[in-house]
A = this chain, B = another copy of it.
Amino acid sequence: MTDRLPRAAIIDGKAIGAKIRAEVAEEAARLSGQGWTPRLVSVSVGDTAAAELYVRNQQKQAEGAGVAFEARSYPQETSLEQLIGILQGLNHDPRVNGIIIQRPLPAHIPVKALQKAVHPLKDVEGMHPASIGNIVYNDLALGPCTAVAAVEILKTLPLKIEGLDVTVIGHSEIVGKPIAFLMMGLGATVTVCHHMTRSVAMHSRAADAVFVAVGKPGLVTGDMIKPGAAVIDIGINRVDGKTVGDVDFASVAEVAGWLTPVPGGVGPVTVATLMKNAVLATRLQMEHYRDAYAKTDI
């Protein structure tokens, strides 16, 4: 008797992330040469311990890619009005090209109010309603990093995305829905399932590619997947001290054609996408600035 080998090819998110970061570093160097070194400001509020490791990782990745990074922390009692004032200051500061709002925020700070206060051209997290709308409109825009990362991973596979039957499990505003319209924009036929869906399995079994972003370990099992399908696992859950996704890895790996691991799948690509948004935002601001000043040359 031999061990059964998993059938699915395990997708290497670290390698995809590294490739994106190398492209970002090149673009950041080009921008620096034109006097526009990309610069991110991270805003944390209150007890920052929860996000500290995450912020430090962003900082490390940014600096490795030639993107300047400044981490700011504000006390727990900072008011919403003060924070919006701080964001408006960052919006108007030409040395700041991107603003990251770290979660969790104190309970008295509604995250959407802050996301809306970030200028759309500096919205490197892709959370402003206008950023979401621009994606729906298929315009070049700063997309929500996790959703963009998940789609970028699918694009590395040898699948023709036009006409591909795709099922997205989870309809959150920052992951599930943006994945759905990014995939629609690429020509896929997309179904979005969620906790009110009668039979998720019926829809997932019909799909050539399944994205899962719910936050429930073991939610997707092998019997819910069409043999050979691509499965992109966006869940991040802590189980018995270990980080796992939403996919029951063992059973899905026996059926799927491709599968992202957790950790090491979507995560590293998400941070790389944040850096890609940083250089894109910087380029958009540079062009906007030049357009504005070109007019006075007439």
How many A residues touch the partner, as a band? 20 to 34
A162 adjacent to chain B (CB < 8 Å):
yes
With A163-B197, A189-B203 as contacts: A133 and B128 at CB distance below 8 Å = yes
Query: How many chain copies?
Result: 2
Shortest A9–chain B CB gap in Å is 24
Q: Chain A interface mostly helix, strand, loop or mixed?
A: mixed
Residues of B within 8 Å of A191, CB to CB, are 189-192, 203
A216 close to B (CB within 8 Å): no
Any B CB within 8 A of the CB of A234: no
Determine if A138 is an interface residue (Cβ-Cβ < 8 Å).
Answer: yes
Kindly state the separation between the CA atoms of A132 and B185 in the bound complex, as whole angstroms: 15
> Knowing A189-B191, A189-B197 touch, does A129 contact B138 (C-beta < 8 A)?
no
Known contacts: A132-B132, A184-B177. The answer to whether A192 contacts B190 by CB under 8 A is: yes
Q: Which of A130-177 contact B (CB under 8 A)?
A: 130-134, 136-139, 162-163, 165, 171, 173, 177
How long is the Cα–Cα vector from A162 to B197 in the complex, in angstroms? 8
Judged by a CB distance under 8 angstroms, whether A194 is at the interface is: yes
A163 to B, closest residue via Cβ: B196
* A193 interface hit (Cβ, 8 Å): yes
* Residue A94 at the chain B interface, CB threshold 8 Å: no
| A92 at interface, CB cutoff 8 A | no
Partner of A137, one of B132, B181, B198: B132
**Residues 109 to 139 of chain A near chain B (Cβ within 8 Å):** 112, 128-134, 136-139
- Chain B CB count within 10 A is highest, among A165, A193, A203, for A165
- Apart from the given pairs A132-B137, A189-B193, 4 other A-B contacts in the complex at a CB distance below 8 Å: A129-B139, A130-B133, A180-B192, A189-B197
- Mark A residues whose CB is within 8 Å of B: 112, 128-134, 136-139, 162-163, 165, 171, 173, 177-178, 180-181, 184, 187-194, 196-198, 203
Q: Would you mind naming 19 contact pairs between A and B with Cβ atoms under 8 Å apart?
A: A112-B137, A129-B130, A129-B132, A129-B133, A129-B134, A129-B139, A131-B133, A132-B136, A133-B136, A138-B173, A162-B196, A177-B181, A184-B192, A184-B194, A188-B196, A189-B191, A189-B194, A189-B196, A189-B198
